[in-house]
Every structure is written in structure tokens, then in C-alpha cells.
Amino acid sequence: MLRTHLAGSLRAEHADQTVTLTGWVARRRDHGGVIFIDLRDASGVSQVVFREGEVAEQAHRLRAEYCVRITGSVEVRPEGNQNFEIPTGAIEVNATTLEVLNESAPLPFQLDDQVGEEARLKHRYLDLRREGPGQAIRLRSKVNAAAREVLAHHEFVEVETPTLTRSTPRAPATSWFPRACSPAASTRCRRARSCSSSC
């Protein structure tokens, strides 16, 4: 079983339940041997604590953006340790098992850093994990889905049309293909410009 709950769905009423969560390590903190991580998935973030034993030893090697699966018991956070800025701030998950599904190479930038547009676009797969860009792309997806649903309900036909883009230098290699306009011209080839007017 990949997961039983989404990380952002846990609340105080889930206390004493055993859950399995899957997600990415957003942050890791080591407080005197007790390790805390913020586990993030598409629904939000839950705090996971590793207190003792082999599972705590495993947690020492966790780094940002490791993809992990944990199983543990939902507990209400002690008074004064609650974080009311997030929906899951009243609880934490006391982990009993930890499985690293995929490790992460060192990141070109931390997700909570302020980085330039060029770096964000170059590493778009990371940028979309940030809260703002992630919410924007999800909203766009929902709007597009709603528009398509309305049009489909009225029996519109969706036709894929060519996408026009700006010509850029240093384009990919030029494609060549046989010309099939007439038998006499079948041995000739013509050049197809894929992206660049400089080909």
C-alpha cells in the first residue's frame, strides 16, 4: 500500500490512528537526537517525528526532496508546540517505519530561497513544488478541465491545431525527408525547418 492518508488531510480527530504517508522531505531538523521532518505531498505538509531506535538512525541520512514512505501513529502536539498557520499544525506523526523510495541529488537551489527567473525556468520541475507556482498550475489545470467539460457537454469537437512559436537560433538539427510531389521528384529532398530560420 502506497499510502492510507494524504499528508495535508490529517487533523486532531485522527489522533491514535496508524497512518502511512508518502511524500517529499521539505525540511529536516535535528533537536538533540530527535529528528523532525516536514513531509510534503500535493495536499499539504505534515510534521513527522523520529524519536528513537533504528528508524531514528535511518532518518539521520534524510535530505531535502528525498521521496519517502513512513508509517506511524498520529499524535496531538504538546501544548505550545502547535502551529496554527498550517491545517495540520495540531498534530504530528510518530514514525515507526521509514522507507526511502528515491534519493535526491543536491538541489540547485532550496525551494524556500528567492531565486531568479532564469534558474526557476531552468529547473521548472523544482519551481512547481513551491507553494505559489504549484497552486497556479493546479488552478490553470482546473480551469482548463472545467472549460473542456462545458464544451464537451455541448458536443463541441476539440481539434488540435499547430502551435506557433518564435524562431530561435541554435535550433535542433535540420530534418530532411523525401519529396513526394511527383514521381520525377521522388529522389530529391527538401529541408524542413523545425525551429530556426537559420537552418
Identify the domain boundary among 77, 102, 127: 102
116-173 per-position pLDDT tens digit:
999 999 999 999 999 899 999 999 999 999 999 999 999 999 898 887 777 766 655 5
Beta bridge partners of 23: 68
- Helix, strand or coil, per DSSP, at residue 55: helix
Whether residues 129 and 61 fall in one domain: no
Whether residues 96 and 125 fall in one domain: no
Residue 195 maps to a domain = no
Whether residues 24 and 96 fall in one domain: yes
185-194 per-position pLDDT tens digit:
444 444 444 4
Which pLDDT value is given to residue 191?
Answer: 42
Q: Is residue 199 over pLDDT 50?
A: no
Residue 189 maps to a domain = no
Task: For residue 44, give the DSSP letter.
Answer: E
Whether residues 33 and 94 fall in one domain: yes
Domain residues for the domain of 74 are 7-102
Which is nearest to 170 in space by CA: 133, 129, 198, 134? 198
Higher pLDDT, 145 or 184: 145
Work out the angle at residue 109's Cα, subtended by the Cα atoms of residues 106 and 110, and round it to the nearest 5 degrees: 90
